[in-house]
A and B are shown apart, each in its own frame.
Chain A
Amino acid sequence: MGGRMGRRVILFGLAMWAVLPLALLVVVALSGGWRFPTLLGASPGPGQLAEVASGPLGSALFTSGLIALATGVTSAAIGLVAGRALARASGWVRALGSMSAFLPVATPPLLIGIGLQFSFLSVGLAGTSGGVWLAHVVPATGYTTLYFLGVFASWDFGVERAARRLGASRVATLRRVVLPLLRRPLTEAALLGFLVSWAQVPLTLLVGRGRVRSLTVEVLSLLEAGQDPAAAAGALLLIVPPILLIGVLTWGIREAEVVVP
């Protein structure tokens, strides 16, 4: 009985650990401010959430969403091709390829950002959303390539061979067999790429050069400016899209896995 109670206490503690910061964010976002030494936020009201749509946070949300979506799709596509090629390779080619895929994952984004900004400056991509997107693709592709390497390690290439032997062209095999079977891994890889981009700060700051105002960059700016309620609202916004996306995609994957009659 004691053990059961102990487990409940631990679980409650863990839940609080996760929920309390979010609850505080909600309180701060809804209040007009929360200044030391008051225990609660002052003058509760509509706060910053209502102003999100029209203010800088709304624009930053849009920019972040666009870049993260583009990163998710691009990194999933590149990861699919690279992971597949690596899975079919052997010996030193596979070892070297896997190491190359791991490199952008292991390298601190700050380092990647510093490296990329010089080359991007020379081609005019620094300070642009396109440049930030390309920069985000670098670490995201590392993750998706390693993810697809795992997927293709247990992939039955015999199914593709069967399709070819039944008269399907390469394109038909890809369209009718490979891509439908990879719907779930592709979705998950795109989500992984999205999340890598969504939470990215150093790369956005360095390559965006302050001109690309993503949500994370905007929240940092608000914090630096002491606008805690607006920063809290922005922080809350950082959580909402990934959760929504995970929910929608999980449902979508389940629907997509129904066998075609």
Chain B
Amino acid sequence: MGHPGGGGGRPVISPVPLLRLEAVAVPFGDRPGLHDVSLTLAEGEHFALVGTSGVGKSSLLSAIAEPAEGVVGRLELQGRDLRTDTEARRDVVLLGQRPLLFPHLSVRRNVAFPLEVRRRPAAAASERVEELLDLVRMLDLADRAPDTLSGGQAHRVALARALAAAPRLLLLDEPFTGLDPELRSALQATVVRAATETGTATITVTHDVAEAARIAARIGVLERGRLVRVAAPEELFLDPGSATVADLLGWPNRLDVTVVDGTPRFEDIPLPAGPGPRRPDGPAHLVFPRDGGTLVEAGSGHLDVRVEAVDPRPDGADVRWSRLRDPSGGPESSSGGVHLEGAVGVDPVRPPAIGRVMGLRLHPDRIRLYPTRSEQP
């Protein structure tokens, strides 16, 4: 897993925070939105914000870039209040999902715009524009009108324009959504490279946790209006911290179990509890990733499941399994359905037959158990 900052390691993080958010609350119209969001970001740090749709990721970025009325809490950039200090706000640039190029200006003049409004000397500005156009590989199209560019090209120009503002903090609100994965990945790499070169810190909003892990040193998880977790990618992947975050990470298996005497039980079948201290008794979510379980012969004391489908993957194959819920008991699944479903990796060369009943053996080191109450806001 590569991280920006050179040498595949973390960026050099200054002890002086660049951004400080303390107990920030952002209303969504007339209803409560984000609340009690606290976060510090170091100079040059690359941070990613993940969460489901509508959880408030974009609202948080907007609140940082342009704190509107109704936003409460402390928002500071290098100790300057972002709500009152317009100069501090000039050090923050938000790049949104639409490139929003100025249609009356050529590509070159679009990129020059932030430099012109800052009254930079013409020669230096011109040189910087050329550098940035080269960085995003748009030098050849510098004299074109924005309406003649493809979507990807327009996004590249928007990126160069954002970097021309030389912000201390660049906020990226899914700016490359809708582009093909290869181009999106290349643009993300360009952003990180350019931002690292200029010492610009970034906060990237994304739905894609894998993408977040590629570009950020830390990932923040927003859930129901709260920043519930901030962790390094590998830490997050090892221990999501809640079933919802595990779901966000793409862990496809979730069992609603009851912990009795420290042992999780599903329909009276004892299951491994996973690493860590003994869990308190009561309802809990048992979650695990694709490699957290193996299909074995049925009737061997494991959870018996039915093979529903075999889905090929670039790195192997998944078996989608299901299990009819025991109508006599057991907690209701979060979906309220009659099936439990999940997926585990299998050998793509010898996949099990569809419809076959097999035992699901859980790997104790890959499963995580979270009390159900941790899901409450």
Q: Give CA–CA (A73, B145) in the complex, Å.
A: 30
Q: Give CA–CA (A177, B116) in the complex, Å.
A: 12
Cβ proximity bits B104-134 to A, threshold 8 Å, 1 near / 0 not: 1110110001101110000000000000000
> Measured between C-beta atoms, what is the minimum distance from B130 to chain A in Å?
14
> A11 in the interface, Cβ–Cβ < 8 Å?
no
Q: Which of A83-91, A167-175, A205-213 contacts its partner?
A: A167-175
Q: Are A162 and B90 in contact (CB under 8 A)?
A: no
Q: Are A159 and B65 in contact (CB under 8 A)?
A: no
Q: Which residues of the partner chain B approach A165 to less than 8 Å between Cβ atoms?
A: 65-66, 93-94
Q: Are A166 and B104 in contact (CB under 8 A)?
A: no
Q: If A165-B93, A177-B102, A180-B104 touch, does A260 touch B117 (CB 8 Å cutoff)? A: no
Q: Are A261 and B106 in contact (CB under 8 A)?
A: yes
> B354 in the interface, Cβ–Cβ < 8 Å?
no
> A2 in the interface, Cβ–Cβ < 8 Å?
no
Number of residues on chain B facing chain A (CB within 8 A): 26
Looking at the complex, which one of A169, A172, A181, A261 makes contact with B103 (CB distance below 8 Å)?
A181
Q: Are B117 and A166 in contact (CB under 8 A)?
A: yes
> Measured between C-beta atoms, what is the minimum distance from A13 to chain B in Å?
42
Q: Are B106 and A166 in contact (CB under 8 A)?
A: no
> Measured between C-beta atoms, what is the minimum distance from B198 to chain A in Å?
15
Q: Give CA–CA (A122, B94) in the complex, Å.
A: 55
For chain B residues 69-101, which have a beta carbon within 8 Å of chain A? 90, 93-94, 96, 98, 100
> Measured between C-beta atoms, what is the minimum distance from A169 to chain B in Å?
7
- Chain A interface mostly helix, strand, loop or mixed? helix
Q: If A166-B117, A172-B117, A261-B106 touch, does A158 touch B98 (CB 8 Å cutoff)? A: yes
Chain A interface category by residue count: 20 to 34
* A166 nearest in chain B by CB position: B114
Q: Give CA–CA (A162, B106) in the complex, Å.
A: 16
> B187 in the interface, Cβ–Cβ < 8 Å?
no
Looking at the complex, which one of A162, A167, A181 makes contact with B104 (CB distance below 8 Å)?
A181
Q: Are B114 and A260 in contact (CB under 8 A)?
A: no
> A224 in the interface, Cβ–Cβ < 8 Å?
no
- By CB atoms of chain B within 10 A, which of A162, A176, A261 has the most? A162
Cβ proximity bits A138-170 to B, threshold 8 Å, 1 near / 0 not: 000000000000000000101101111111110
* B105 nearest in chain A by CB position: A260
Looking at the complex, which one of A164, A166, A257 makes contact with B162 (CB distance below 8 Å)?
A166
The 4 closest A-B pairs by CB, nearest first: A162-B100, A259-B145, A168-B117, A166-B114
